[in-house]
Structure 1
């Protein structure tokens, strides 16, 4: 905005423009220097308007009802007193006075200042104002709903919007490269193929915000809504990844699904040996499995095989034989997925989409998030699913 346009703004206009800048500044093409200068000018205009409002309020108090320093706050009976004091609460003066008294922001009367008659007609009490002193809300939201996306976060992500299919060669029954005598043909190829084809599932999450909550909301609220929806939908994607790992069609080979395993060194080494894929290995389990099961495993010399992370990485709890142990609360108790996460393919057919609308009957605002997503394991032997015996069994 130009300096002239900023000087013409009201308090409402200043706040609206600052709110718009919060969105603009996130764009990669945003001119940060220009936006910084504009915010400086807007803050100066806001300070100027606040000062003007305070001076106007002081002057209004001095001249109100012919007195200095007081404003009428009492409400005499409807049938007594001077004509200026005899308005009842059903009068037009009282109704407009109530509206004007409520429509004040930063000292500025958005609907204009009350007339002498309106000031005489209006009385602020808890009967007509449910909250004379509005509750202050800290510019912060505490999210107690945990989001766990370790498996999805490590997966190999793609964004093919039209479809998702990858041919896979499962085995070479005949025709592998080998030595032959001079002039002798190799065996005819007999390769086994299939196709990893994903259709996508719809993932949705919505929030319902009441009219009162919208009125009392804070500056960070809109940003938090988007982040909250993204986390919850990300959590659903993580659960979908786990479901697909368990799938007989798109998931772990049945020979790599182990049950009734002990929390001991031999079992862990056997699990690691069944991962048939090159790449960095990871172990995914929930907090109970990590700290009450894996953490206590020792080798034959009574040395722990679980080494807690010392780097401060919040995503890694520790390491077992070089494999990072990551906590994912979507994994069941006494269960772990061990494998090469890059082999898990996660396709976002449509990225997170957020929309909102207001309900006509309740005036609630419904904000919804949507994503079309699916996942599948490229190499069925790249992961092992293991279920451990609980203590005492």
Structure 2
């Protein structure tokens, strides 16, 4: 090809290339609008006739644009090669490097594709591309926004997670805990100094599955994706959080985490007992506080049920003699220690503990998988969290016990 012909070809290539990319932008706008119509059609006051007409018009326009783009590619391929029937190539404008759009797990397109896949809905072209590119190597990972929603709601429904020392380490983890340090000692000049024990002990955490199966009718396919995401994350997070909290409090340590109930074998040295027929006294509360070493005071709190607070502790309040229970901004305090209310603590019992000494681990994000049950004509969604925990300092947990007999 001589210089004049080359210049003509380059000029033509720029014009065709610019036209092609302008068309591509319009196709993306059309696909975005079609995705929006999918949501708008579920509104009670939706004008279905208008939306139908708009959809038909957009689909026809998209087909026309794609046909023209294909014609341009074919024409450009013929001019570039000088042969009919040769391989067609996509040319970028002379001043632009072609780029292939990639979709990460944090993209809106991938989130939409993931949620619609769970709902067994058809995917748009954009969603298909996002799904195929993002899941090509890693599989259908939960979108970043959805994962963040679940984690935020788990912490909302399980406030004890914010009180313990929570790790996010994949697999089993060994954690070094500082125990009681030996006292300093006087030293005679020039004599050897014998090293003392560091007081470090190690605890090992593994990962136990906590699962929740949620069922919803096939009508889920008519939900808007934002509403579906909110419903799904709320249902899964609430149930998982309930079980995580139960583990922190009452986990047995056998095929599950170990809770503060198993921090000690309860006796006179670490608990205060109230007779079965007796009632709690102010002295019982003071005795319980006295059992907790002073080094844990800064992070200590009471844990009890709402019933225990109002039937056992509140009656002890006597403004003329003490300030046992104090209420500030909707929060309760017993002799200055914050009170956490949880119905999983047995009635008429309570713990006084520094929960930061409980070590927990969530080695991976919550996952959600789905299936369809033909026998019930319903969708099943399975949420799964991995969690383990254990109290690291037995003397950081003290208990108020209601005698059984």
TM-score, structure 1 length as denominator?
Answer: 0.57
Aligned to 1:327: 341
Rate the CA distance shift 1:288–1:5 in 2: closer, same or farther, 3 A: same
Within a 5 Å distance, the mapping from 1:69-108 to structure 2 comes to none
Deviations 1:147-191 (A, max 9, x none): 96343332121111121222345556xx74200222233456467
Aligned to 2:173: 164
* Equivalent residue in structure 1 for 2:392, among 347, 362, 378: 378
User: What CA distance in whole angstroms lies between the structure 2 residues aligned with 1:351 and 1:183?
Assistant: 57
Q: What secondary structure does 2:365 align onto? A: strand
Q: What secondary structure does 1:326 align onto? A: strand
Aligned to 1:214: 220
Rate the CA distance shift 1:215–1:162 in 2: closer, same or farther, 3 A: closer
Rate the CA distance shift 1:336–1:15 in 2: closer, same or farther, 3 A: farther
Deviation at 1:17, TM superposition (A): 6.6
Within a 5 Å distance, the mapping from 1:92-241 to structure 2 comes to 149-168=158-177, 170=179, 176-187=183-194, 189=196, 194-211=201-218, 213-214=219-220, 217=223, 220-241=227-248
Aligned to 1:336: 350
The answer (yes or no) to whether the contact 2:259–2:390 under 8 Å persists in 1 is yes
The answer (yes or no) to whether the contact 1:297–1:304 under 8 Å persists in 2 is no
**Which structure has greater helix proportion?**
2
Rate the CA distance shift 1:246–1:201 in 2: closer, same or farther, 3 A: same
The answer (yes or no) to whether the contact 1:150–1:327 under 8 Å persists in 2 is no
Q: What secondary structure does 2:347 align onto? A: coil
Rate the CA distance shift 1:2–1:227 in 2: closer, same or farther, 3 A: farther
User: What CA distance in whole angstroms lies between the structure 2 residues aligned with 1:303 and 1:176?
Assistant: 37
Unaligned runs of 5+ in 2: 1-23, 55-155, 252-257
Rate the CA distance shift 1:245–1:7 in 2: closer, same or farther, 3 A: closer
Deviations 1:33-77 (A, max 9, x none): xxxxxxxxxx9xx879638879xxxxxxxxxxxxxxxxxxxxxxx
Name the Cα RMSD after superposition.
3.6
Aligned to 2:366: 352
Deviation at 1:16, TM superposition (A): 3.5
Aligned residue pairs total 263
Deviations 1:56-107 (A, max 9, x none): xxxxxxxxxxxxxxxxxxxxxxxxxxxxxxxxxxxxxxxxxxxxxxxxxxxx
User: What CA distance in whole angstroms lies between the structure 2 residues aligned with 1:155 and 1:8?
Assistant: 47
User: What CA distance in whole angstroms lies between the structure 2 residues aligned with 1:50 and 1:304?
Assistant: 68
Rate the CA distance shift 1:180–1:299 in 2: closer, same or farther, 3 A: farther
* Equivalent residue in structure 1 for 2:38, among 5, 10, 16: 16
Deviations 1:108-130 (A, max 9, x none): xxxxxxxxxxxxxxxxxxxxxxx
User: What CA distance in whole angstroms lies between the structure 1 residues aligned with 2:165 and 2:158?
Assistant: 13
Aligned to 2:284: 267
Deviation at 1:303, TM superposition (A): 3.5
User: What CA distance in whole angstroms lies between the structure 2 residues aligned with 1:14 and 1:168?
Assistant: 53
Rate the CA distance shift 1:13–1:160 in 2: closer, same or farther, 3 A: closer
Rate the CA distance shift 1:319–1:177 in 2: closer, same or farther, 3 A: same
User: What CA distance in whole angstroms lies between the structure 2 residues aligned with 1:281 and 1:8?
Assistant: 56
User: What CA distance in whole angstroms lies between the structure 2 residues aligned with 1:300 and 1:209?
Assistant: 53
* Equivalent residue in structure 2 for 1:307, among 326, 346, 368: 326
User: What CA distance in whole angstroms lies between the structure 2 residues aligned with 1:196 and 1:52?
Assistant: 63
The answer (yes or no) to whether the contact 1:199–1:374 under 8 Å persists in 2 is yes
User: What CA distance in whole angstroms lies between the structure 1 residues aligned with 2:180 and 2:265?
Assistant: 13
Rate the CA distance shift 1:256–1:51 in 2: closer, same or farther, 3 A: same
Unaligned runs of 5+ in 1: 20-42, 55-146
Q: What secondary structure does 1:271 align onto? A: helix
